Amino acid sequence: MEVQDADLKVKTLSPELLRKMDAYWHAANYLSVGQIYLYGNPLLKEKLTLEHIKPRLLGHWGTTPGLNFIYVHLNRVIKQYDLNIIYVTGPGHGGPGLVANTYLEGTYSEVYPDIGEDENGMQKLFKQFSFPGGIPSHVAPETPGSINEGGELGYSLVHAFGAVFDNPYLIAACVVGDGEAETGALATSWHSNKFLNPVHDGAVLPILHLNGYKIANPTILARIPKEELEQLFRGHGYNPYFVEGDDPDTMHELLAATLDIVVEEIRAIQSDARVYGFKKRPIWPMIIFRTPKGWTGPKVVDGLQIEGTWRAHQVPLAELATKPEHVQMLETWMKSYKPELLFDENGKLIPELAELAPKENRRMGANPSANGGSLLINLKMPDFKDHAVAVPTPGNITAEATSVMGEFLKDVMKANWHERNFRIFGPDETASNRLSHLFDITGRTSTAEIFEGDNHLSPDGRVMEVLSEHLCQGWLEGYLLTGRHGLFSCYEAFIHIVDSMFNQHAKWLKVSRKLPWRKPIASLNYLLTSHVWRQDHNGNSHQDPGFLDVVANKTAEIVRIYLPPDANTLLSVTDHCLRSRDYINVIVAGKQPEMQWLDMDAAIKHCTAGLGIWKWASNDEGFEPDVVMACAGDVPTLETIAAVQILREQLPELKVRVINVVDLMTLQPESEHPHGLNDKDFDILFTKDKPIIFAFHGYPLLIHRLTYRRTNHKNLHVRGYKGEGTTTTPFDMVVLNDLDRFHLVSDVIDRLPGLGAKGAYTKQYLRDKLLDHKAYIESHGEDMPEILNWKWNLSPSTNLV
């Protein structure tokens, strides 16, 4: 659809308002150019010389004037209709524009009082941009009003949708760059409208900013016929409005008229749904905004076309030190905005322009939704102990850990039902991951067509399932960044799909934690299940525990990794994670029925410590152990306990200490991570010189890199995933990676040469067991009865010491 200027019977903007808005846009453009170029002479009161200009010119001009244009127009509709809008900046390289606009509206000086609304403040504003000790060149946590870092492209639209779920009065105006539109994450984000319910969610207004070029090339969407472009967005379920041109006055009229129509459409959709209830997925409006790249900047430099080409991407005038005429061109360019008509003598925006901005929290830079911590309401936490699995003695009963967790999550969902501030996200695997208790009280979200017989599918569902880890992650990030709570449950191997989004969120938290005005937000919680050791049925492609390595690279202030060995520890860890702030918590837990070890009291104590000796599994009390058997993760714990049992039977004189690690970061030195155990206690637990056989859930090297500074590291032998796996039996998976009970016992014997013949005899016994195993599975296709029906025998009375 297109609003033609000629068709507008009544102009939307009075000539006076148009003139002012254009002037306001000039002011934003002026401040944007100033940030990129100047560190002195901010109002150009003196003749511009090289010494006013930064030696390193860093920033992206190309997208900025368009971003500024949209900002000014959103300001108008916010004021006119009293709208609650946040501005999500996909082309976040246009950082100067957002800084400029939040400065013009007054937010910037409130947040950063040393950057005042005067000449001195403007000088500081200019200097700090992309300057050592200053602010980044992109839209970033430091930018008021932002929930989206604009460096790694592709996540704006998914963040915008995450922001408006359960935020009925919020509109996320999301500028999507035509460059970022080529990314996978963005390409699938358009489908988020099939999950948005106008009754209780807000609205996203996508504005595709078609300025035609990336760094060196046109964008795809700028080079397909308009008809295809329109079909593409209609096919995605939107009603696209085209706003295209390069004449500012005409464009002001077009965008203003279009925004009026679009706001009306959004309001009509919402009021209809809120009065009459949800009937069918609405066709939401969107805007396709086509303007020249580097609009209003230098048209031609050194004989080359700049405005409207890829050459406008970064700094249009770059060689100021060597080309004096470029300094002159810069001055001409900046003066073309007529700063003397925009700012008073002291550098303050003149009142008739200042009044164009909304007031207080309606300013997009000050919108509380973009500083989610300021709106955060603590989750009401039901008592997780209500779901305790009764564990009379260790190794006595089995349970499905994530199923128990699902009961608890259901209670959390219920307790916060009326706040509507808790959602679960995952790629079509909530039930497969055994969290289906949630479906007792809510459904999976869908506003697309629903058929009879669909499985807990509802436009009101609070479980967000879509076969895109990008969407799950991005929605959750947007939801958290606007002050709510959630959890992402994912097949362990496929969480690597969002490694990069995880990285960027961790970077965001690292910076935002240091900004006093950004209030803490709820942690990003992952449940990684259907994990490497129980993907024996899907095989190789589904087996990868390497996300933990990506996580462990991130700053210790932010990341937490938990490997609860059973259901009660999982409950305790989950409770802790849901209450925490500003972290990324990774919980790894299996979904299959597994043996249970700790009753609830023991589980809480164990999780609080993060690691500890399991006395009931050890037989070294009062002695120095001969060997330490450490474990982290449910399957490695199972194999370790089974190995200990074999040791008791075969080599009863051996003194074995069993240590289980729930909180992986306890292994790091205290100096490296706040959860790190101090060296003294570590030495007491792990001894200074006894062999340690460590059975680990993930890649063994992770344990080495966490512990390499510990006294006894030289005696540490780690078993874990070494890349072996296929479609096979569950026990064969651990055998293939030498993590099984037989290999673990063999590892102990190898490190205790003093066992002599007895050790050799036992090793033969273990080899035979492994041969039995191999022969059995290859003929029967399932694990041998000895493993399937393992006779646990761990009551204290069997402690032979």
Residue number, 22 or 230, with CB nearest to a second copy: 230
- The SS3 of residue 464 is strand
Q: Under rule CB under 8 A, which residues in 616-675 are in contact with a second copy?
A: none
Amino acid at 265: E
Residue number, 191 or 348, with CB nearest to a second copy: 191
Pairing of strands 398-400, 593-595: antiparallel
Interface segment toward a second copy; rule CB under 8 A; list 132-140, 244-252, 359-367, 757-765: 132-140
- Based on the shown chain and the rule CB under 8 A, indicate whether residue 555 belongs to the binding site for a second copy: yes
Residue number, 305 or 764, with CB nearest to a second copy: 305
Shortest distance, CB of residue 572 to a second copy, whole angstroms? 29
Alpha-carbon distance 450 to 458, whole Å?
8
* Contact indicator for 285, 238 with CB cutoff of 8 Å: yes
Q: What is the CB neighbour count within 10 angstroms for residue 768?
A: 11
Residue number, 305 or 795, with CB nearest to a second copy: 305
Residue length, the chain?
801
* Among 423, 441, 428, residue whose Cα is nearest residue 164: 423
Size of the site for a second copy (CB under 8 A): 121
Shortest distance, CB of residue 61 to a second copy, whole angstroms? 14
Residue number, 536 or 620, with CB nearest to a second copy: 536
Interface segment toward a second copy; rule CB under 8 A; list 131-139, 361-369, 619-627, 742-750: 131-139
Shortest distance, CB of residue 396 to a second copy, whole angstroms? 25
Residue number, 565 or 725, with CB nearest to a second copy: 725
Shortest distance, CB of residue 89 to a second copy, whole angstroms? 13
Query: CA–CA distance from 368 to each of 115, 158, 270, 738, 790 (Å)?
Result: 21, 19, 22, 53, 57
Residue number, 276 or 451, with CB nearest to a second copy: 451
In the chain, the N- to C-terminal Cα span, in Å, equals 83
Residue number, 701 or 771, with CB nearest to a second copy: 701
Alpha-carbon distance 311 to 328, whole Å?
19
Residue 525 parent element (H or E): strand 524-529
Dihedral of CA 127/132/135/137: which sign? Answer: positive
Residue number, 127 or 697, with CB nearest to a second copy: 127
Phi, psi of 425, deg, nearest 5: -125, 145
* Contact indicator for 218, 178 with CB cutoff of 8 Å: no
| Structure-token pair, residue 407 | 């009961």
Shortest distance, CB of residue 574 to a second copy, whole angstroms? 22
Alpha-carbon distance 781 to 421, whole Å?
46
Shortest distance, CB of residue 655 to a second copy, whole angstroms? 27
Residue number, 416 or 473, with CB nearest to a second copy: 473
Query: CA–CA distance from 248 to each of 244, 252, 292, 296 (Å)?
Result: 11, 6, 11, 9
Out of 5, 22, 110, 152, the residue judged to bind a second copy by CB under 8 A: 152
Residue number, 177 or 373, with CB nearest to a second copy: 177
Out of 4, 332, 361, 553, the residue judged to bind a second copy by CB under 8 A: 553
Residues 776-795 as x/- pattern, contact with a second copy by CB under 8 A: -xx-xxx-------------
Out of 209, 214, 290, 743, the residue judged to bind a second copy by CB under 8 A: 214
Q: What is the CB neighbour count within 10 angstroms for residue 361?
A: 13
Shortest distance, CB of residue 140 to a second copy, whole angstroms? 7
| Structure-token pair, residue 788 | 């399937």
| Structure-token pair, residue 379 | 């989750």
The residues, ordered by sequence, that sit 6+ positions from 717 with a Cβ below 8 Å of its Cβ are 691, 692, 693, 694, 747, 751
Q: Which residue has the tokens 């509109």?
A: 171
Out of 9, 14, 55, 754, the residue judged to bind a second copy by CB under 8 A: 55
Residue number, 549 or 599, with CB nearest to a second copy: 549
Shortest distance, CB of residue 296 to a second copy, whole angstroms? 20
Interface segment toward a second copy; rule CB under 8 A; list 209-217, 354-362, 389-397, 475-483: 209-217
Shortest distance, CB of residue 610 to a second copy, whole angstroms? 20
Q: Under rule CB under 8 A, which residues in 474-533 are in contact with a second copy?
A: 493-494, 496-497, 499-500, 503-504, 507, 510-511
* Contact indicator for 617, 637 with CB cutoff of 8 Å: no
Interface segment toward a second copy; rule CB under 8 A; list 250-258, 302-310, 338-346, 635-643: 302-310
Alpha-carbon distance 104 to 21, whole Å?
13
Out of 362, 675, 704, 763, the residue judged to bind a second copy by CB under 8 A: 704
- Based on the shown chain and the rule CB under 8 A, indicate whether residue 322 belongs to the binding site for a second copy: no
- The SS3 of residue 80 is helix
For residues 252, 258, 264, 267, the Cα torsion angle rounded to the nearest 10 degrees is -90
Out of 514, 537, 605, 767, the residue judged to bind a second copy by CB under 8 A: 537
* Contact indicator for 62, 95 with CB cutoff of 8 Å: no
* Contact indicator for 286, 229 with CB cutoff of 8 Å: no
Residues 181-200 as x/- pattern, contact with a second copy by CB under 8 A: -xxxxxxx--x--x------
Out of 62, 168, 179, 285, the residue judged to bind a second copy by CB under 8 A: 179
Residue number, 130 or 525, with CB nearest to a second copy: 130
Q: What is the DSSP letter of 375?
A: G
Rg of the chain over CA atoms, in angstroms? 31
Alpha-carbon distance 526 to 514, whole Å?
24
Phi, psi of 279, deg, nearest 5: -115, -55
Alpha-carbon distance 459 to 45, whole Å?
59
- Based on the shown chain and the rule CB under 8 A, indicate whether residue 539 belongs to the binding site for a second copy: yes
- DSSP state letters, 674-707: TTPBPHHHHHHHH-SSS-EEEEESS-HHHHHHHH
Shortest distance, CB of residue 46 to a second copy, whole angstroms? 19
Residue number, 106 or 427, with CB nearest to a second copy: 427
Q: Under rule CB under 8 A, which residues in 423-482 are in contact with a second copy?
A: 428-432, 444, 446, 448-451, 453-455, 457, 465-471
Interface segment toward a second copy; rule CB under 8 A; list 55-63, 404-412, 627-635, 743-751: 55-63
Q: Under rule CB under 8 A, which residues in 708-747 are in contact with a second copy?
A: 708, 713, 723, 726-729, 732
Residue number, 14 or 455, with CB nearest to a second copy: 455
Q: Under rule CB under 8 A, which residues in 86-105 are in contact with a second copy?
A: none
Out of 115, 171, 229, 600, the residue judged to bind a second copy by CB under 8 A: 229
Shortest distance, CB of residue 265 to a second copy, whole angstroms? 18
- Based on the shown chain and the rule CB under 8 A, indicate whether residue 302 belongs to the binding site for a second copy: no
Residue number, 133 or 753, with CB nearest to a second copy: 133
* Contact indicator for 570, 604 with CB cutoff of 8 Å: no
- Side-chain-side CA neighbours of 725 within 13 Å: the count stands at 26
Residue 661 parent element (H or E): strand 656-661
Query: CA–CA distance from 180 to each of 150, 292, 560 (Å)?
Result: 10, 17, 31
Q: Under rule CB under 8 A, which residues in 34-53 are in contact with a second copy?
A: 39
Shortest distance, CB of residue 448 to a second copy, whole angstroms? 4
Interface segment toward a second copy; rule CB under 8 A; list 68-76, 334-342, 543-551, 648-656: 543-551
Out of 45, 47, 234, 279, the residue judged to bind a second copy by CB under 8 A: 234
Q: Is 347 left (phi over 0), alpha (psi -120 to 50) or beta?
A: left
| Structure-token pair, residue 73 | 């127009």
Alpha-carbon distance 587 to 563, whole Å?
6
Shortest distance, CB of residue 346 to a second copy, whole angstroms? 25
- Based on the shown chain and the rule CB under 8 A, indicate whether residue 235 belongs to the binding site for a second copy: yes
Instruction: Catalogue the E-assigned strands of 347-395.
Output: none
